[in-house]
Amino acid sequence: MNVLEILKEDYHRFPKNQTYSLYAEDVYFKDPMNEFNGVRRYKLMIKFIETFFLNPKMDLHDIRREGDTIKMEWTLNWNTPVPWKPRISIPGWSTLGINSDGLIISHVDYWKCSRLDVVKQHFSSSKSS
């Protein structure tokens, strides 16, 4: 199975049973909330999502490989564990760098909304567009 197929399956069952063997030991990760190196830290971040968020779901809209780069478009959704349990939605995209061994050496996420927009979703009864 190729890396694109594995990533599709990972996103389908996210955050459970992710294929961490796809990532280089010193993988660089960045999103609007985090920046770090190392697959161990990446695993901890995914475990946090699995433990803290309610009903997390990652919808993968597009995935393609262009040379040594994988580009993905997705939407991350979850319910926040506060009494009113708002459903939060973050649309975004990722670029993943691949080394000559076929391992992911960088994973950079971009959001199509601001961090403030995400906070506002916790207090709004309507979905943001």
Domain chopping of the chain, boundaries: 3-121
Q: How many CA atoms lie within 13 A of 15 on its CB side?
A: 18
Sequence letter at residue 2? N
Would you say the pTM of this structure is higher than 0.75? yes
Beta strands in the chain (DSSP E): 23-30, 35-37, 54-66, 69-79, 87-98, 104-111
Residue 4's pLDDT is 96
In the numeric block, the tokens 């389908």 are attached to 12
Residue 5 — pLDDT band, cuts 50, 70, 90? very high
Q: How many CA atoms lie within 13 A of 36 on its CB side?
A: 11
Q: Does domain 3-121 have CATH number 3.30.465.10?
A: no
CA distance linking residue 15 with residue 72, whole number of Å: 16
